[in-house]
Amino acid sequence: MPELRKDPIVGRWVIIATDRARRPDQFAPLSPAPTTDSADACPFCEGREAKTPPEIFAVRPSGAANQSGWTVRVVPADDPILRIEGQLTRKGRGMYDLMPGIGAHELVIESPRHVANLADLPAPQIEQVLGAYVSRLSDLERDARFKYALLFKNYGRAAGAGTLVHAHSEIMAMPVNPVRLKDELHGARQYFELKERCIFCDLLRQEVESGRRLAVESRDFVAITPFASRFPFELWVLPRRHAADFTTMTSAERTDLAGLLKATLLRLRQALRDPPYNFILHTAPFRRHKPGAWHTVDEDFHWHIEIMPRLTRVAGFEWGSGFYINPTPPEEAAKFLREVEVATHV
Amino acid sequence: MPELRKDPIVGRWVIIATDRARRPDQFAPLSPAPTTDSADACPFCEGREAKTPPEIFAVRPSGAANQSGWTVRVVPADDPILRIEGQLTRKGRGMYDLMPGIGAHELVIESPRHVANLADLPAPQIEQVLGAYVSRLSDLERDARFKYALLFKNYGRAAGAGTLVHAHSEIMAMPVNPVRLKDELHGARQYFELKERCIFCDLLRQEVESGRRLAVESRDFVAITPFASRFPFELWVLPRRHAADFTTMTSAERTDLAGLLKATLLRLRQALRDPPYNFILHTAPFRRHKPGAWHTVDEDFHWHIEIMPRLTRVAGFEWGSGFYINPTPPEEAAKFLREVEVATHV
């Protein structure tokens, strides 16, 4: 009998097909893994700094801005979806609300070398990437027009990646809070009002105790396959220490997270033959004053990263309803990820 | 400058790329249109009734059950996602909630002939299909275990269709309300509390007056491209008369809707070269008693059909945030659909 499971945070029901579970080798890749194509023309490789707009930020052991010598580099998107210039004027048009598409759209180039998958970078390099994330989010927060910055990565065509395969992530700062974040904030607040505890902390405690959905763990972080996973091999990476805001990570935690992310992504690649995936940071919104609230987002929310391999097509049923069908129980996904052999030389 | 637009019902913000709008011929098809493959082995064609489970319902001018002579036929899914047998026992598991995957999963075979696209059926045949929808939804509502029945259609591989191309839709009755429906119900209720008017009726009035996003209209229905469309050429079909429940359609309205649906789907096909699409009915939930409410779902909700062509890949950004980027302003989509020439012989 399949199971209907409810996500405790947003209240979304998911069908978990427990009795005809699909093993990792039963997923046909939705798109070929991005081949590390010819680096000859890649504008993200070291030495081709002139091929991107001037950098906003760089981790740069040597060299001047927009020259060689960097390890991580952040540039504005060439063809940004949201534009940085302009006044933020909210308007109505009859019953509708709109505003100009003001925001920031930045690309974080994660390596000077032509590498496609974050998993293939050395952990100290991933640590520098995390540092760049923190710097950019902290800086964007200072722009009073922005309410949130969405940090995400699309790896592989089926995950929505463009033609540039060189490892990079994107940051979009925006003047509104995305609806999925609002749902999470709302769910977390409701739980806190009832229990006076963070729902993610409770979830983490239960997952660590049971161990059934634990995929990878480190001193400061855990990667779990959530109870009501929407997608096969969906993973959430949570800090063990309660914190709403990603940028408050300590430097020791950052080192630890780099190692855990690398281990998690390597296991995912090994288990599923280099699948396309999306990686999305869920962190507290920039503006969190809430007049009249008895507690704050800092108390009730808990930042995390969601990793969603793209293994199945999402059908109309799921689009129209938000009601997902997942053919792989998360307990089995976690077990596969724990048991898969990862070559030690990588 | 791109525009940020807010869906007035669920509060979702969408980026509309107004200044580099994509025209219909700029979308590469995500998957080939389903070829009307050999009908030789199709279990849905007339004369092969023994190849499906016994029928639940049929529009049958002649012949006995499970024989030739039908025009629309409803059968249980061969490999159902939810199962009809069993007790509905809700349980907790630590902090989590779950229940057995009880429900109904039915297929509505929309023609005895081997035709793939609903658009290609004669309007009187589409009318019979609508009649079958009403009959099945009314029947499923009587099962006290079910809270909702989701009616949807996946046309084309990129829209999640399986290997059977013969025109059919699916009905999944379920013991919970899908989260997207809950969001709509919530938004509609909030608006009604504020205005004492149905938000969809207000939206309809504004769209009919402005005409800018009106794609197709008939006596009783309109097809609009919504102000905050998530997808290029997204369409909503709304009844002009306020009604929360699809099954309360009059027979004259059903005739009218059949014609409007055919006209809309033909225009979509012509404008976008037979695109894959999803079609989803949004109707009132089965159980609508709400203790203590000052008004009911019948007053504040308004049924409608959402049609979503699959023209763009949905990236991680959109998955993780519910924040969509739409490269075609709905005003232009509506204009294309109004102006496209549709052969009169079809």
Q: Which of B105, B168, B282, B302 is catalytic?
A: B168
Residue bearing the bigger pLDDT, B30 or A198: A198
Instruction: Indicate if the pLDDT at residue B346 is higher than 50.
Output: no
- Hey, which residues does A153 pair with through a beta bridge? A279
Q: SS3 for B208?
A: helix
Q: Which residue of A has its CA nearest to B325?
A: A81
Region of poorest pLDDT, from A331-345, B25-39, B104-118: B25-39
- pTM for the predicted model, two decimal places: 0.93
What's the pLDDT score for residue B22?
73
What is the distance between the alpha carbons of residues B183 and A327, in angstroms, rounded to a whole number?
A: 25
Say whether A168 is catalytic: yes
Q: A183 and B322: CB-CB below 8 Å? A: yes
Chain A residues touching residue B77 (CB < 8 angstroms): none
Q: Helix, strand, or coil here: A59?
A: strand
Mean pLDDT for chain B overall: 90
**Cβ within 8 Å, pair A157-B313:** yes
pLDDT in tens, A78-95: 888 888 888 888 889 999
| Percentage of chain B modeled with pLDDT above 70 | 92
Identify the closest residue of chain A to B276 by CA–CA distance.
A316
Nearest CA in chain B to A279: B316
pLDDT band at B32 (very low <50, low <70, confident <90, very high): low
Give the ipTM: 0.89
Does the pLDDT of residue B8 top 70, yes or no?
A: yes
CA distance A344 to chain B (A): 30
Q: What is the pLDDT of residue A346?
A: 44
Q: Indicate the range of A67-71, A231-235, B90-94 predicted with least confidence.
A: B90-94
The span from the CA of A50 to the CA of A43, in Å, is 8
Which of B99, B316, B321 lies closest to A153 in CB terms?
B316
Confidence grade of residue B206 (pLDDT, cut at 50, 70, 90): very high
pLDDT of residue A344: 57
CB contact under 8 A, B95 and A8: yes
- How many other CB atoms are there within 10 angstroms of residue A68's CB atom? 14
Average pLDDT over residues B129-145: 97
CB contact under 8 A, B6 and A279: no
Q: Is the dihedral of CA B173, B176, B179, B184 positive or negative?
A: positive
The CB density around residue A284, as the number of other CB atoms within 10 Å, is 22
More confidently predicted of A288 and B184: B184
Question: For residue B88, what pLDDT is reported?
Answer: 84
Q: Domains for chain B: give ranges and CATH numbers.
A: 3-28+39-85+96-339 (3.30.428.10)
A5 with B97: Cβ contact below 8 A? yes
Q: Where are the beta strands (DSSP E) in chain B?
A: 3-6, 13-16, 57-59, 72-76, 91-93, 96-100, 104-109, 148-155, 168-174, 214-217, 221-224, 235-239, 277-282, 304-309, 324-326
> What is the average per-residue pLDDT within B118-123?
96
Alpha-carbon distance B264 to nearest alpha carbon in chain A (angstroms) = 18
Our CA-based measurement puts residue A101 at a distance from the nearest CA of chain B, in whole angstroms, of 5
Q: Which of A209, A323, A324 should one mutate to test binding to chain B, selecting the residue with the greatest count of B CBs within 10 A? A: A323
Cross-chain Cβ contact A321/B180 below 8 Å: yes
Q: Is the pLDDT of residue A214 over 90?
A: yes
Using an 8 Å CB-CB cutoff, list chain A residues near B150: 317, 320-321, 323
Residue range B267-307, pLDDT digits in tens: 999 999 899 999 999 999 998 866 666 788 999 999 999 99
pLDDT of residue A36: 54
Across the interface, which of A183, A279, A317 has its CB nearest the CB of B152?
A317
Looking at residue A334, its pLDDT comes to: 96
Mean pLDDT of A139-153: 95
**For residue A345, is pLDDT > 60?**
no
Q: Measured between CB atoms, which of A1, A99, A172 is closest to B101?
A: A1
Which residues of A are less than 8 Å from B83 in CB distance? Answer: 1-2
Interface touch A82/B320, C-beta < 8 Å: no
What's the burial of B345, exposed, middle or buried (CB within 10 Å: 0-12/13-18/19+)?
A: exposed
Chain A residues with CB under 8 Å of B317 CB are 150, 152, 154, 160, 170, 172, 280
User: What digits encode the pLDDT tens for the residues A157-200?
Assistant: 878 888 889 999 999 999 999 988 999 999 999 999 999 999 99
Query: In this predicted structure, what is the pLDDT of residue B207?
Result: 97
Q: Are A39 and B120 in contact (CB under 8 A)?
A: no
Strands (E), B175-296: 214-217, 221-224, 235-239, 277-282
A100 contacts B3? CB cut-off 8 A? yes
Q: Alpha-carbon distance B306 to B326, whole Å?
A: 16
Q: Which residues of A touch B161 (CB under 8 A)?
A: 315
Whether the per-residue pLDDT at B113 is higher than 80: the answer is: yes
Question: CA-to-CA distance for A203 and A217, rounded, in angstroms?
Answer: 15
Please name the member of B82, B153, B157 whose beta carbon is closest to the beta carbon of A15: B82
User: Got the DSSP string for B43-99?
Assistant: TTSTT-GGGSSPPSEEE-SSS-TTSS--SEEEEE-SS-SSBSSS----EEETTEEEE
User: What's the whole-number mean pLDDT along residues A285-312?
Assistant: 86
Best-predicted range by mean pLDDT (A295-299, B12-16, B298-302) = B298-302
- Indicate if the pLDDT at residue A21 is higher than 80: no
CA distance A63 to chain B (A): 33
Query: Residue A217 above 70 pLDDT?
Result: yes
Whether A247 shows a pLDDT value over 70: the answer reads yes
pLDDT above 60 (res B345): no
**How far is B320 from A73, CA to CA, in rounded Å?**
24
Contacts of A317 (CB under 8 A, 6+ apart): A323, A325, B150, B152, B154, B160, B170, B172, B280
Choice among A105, A114, A166, A168 that is catalytic: A168
Model pLDDT, residue A223: 98
Q: Which residues of chain B does A181 touch, with a Cβ-Cβ cutoff of 8 Å?
A: 321
Q: Which residues, in sequence order, are CB contacts of B267 under 8 Å at separation 6+?
A: B215, B216, B337, B338, B340, B342
pLDDT at B302: 98
Q: In this complex, which of A279, A282, A317 lies closest to B172 when CB atoms are compared? A: A317
Q: Which residue of B has its CA nearest to A305?
A: B320
What residue has token string 């997923």?
Answer: A27
**Residue among A44, A293, A315 nearest B161 (CA):** A315
3-state class of A324 per DSSP? strand
Average pLDDT of span A122-142: 98
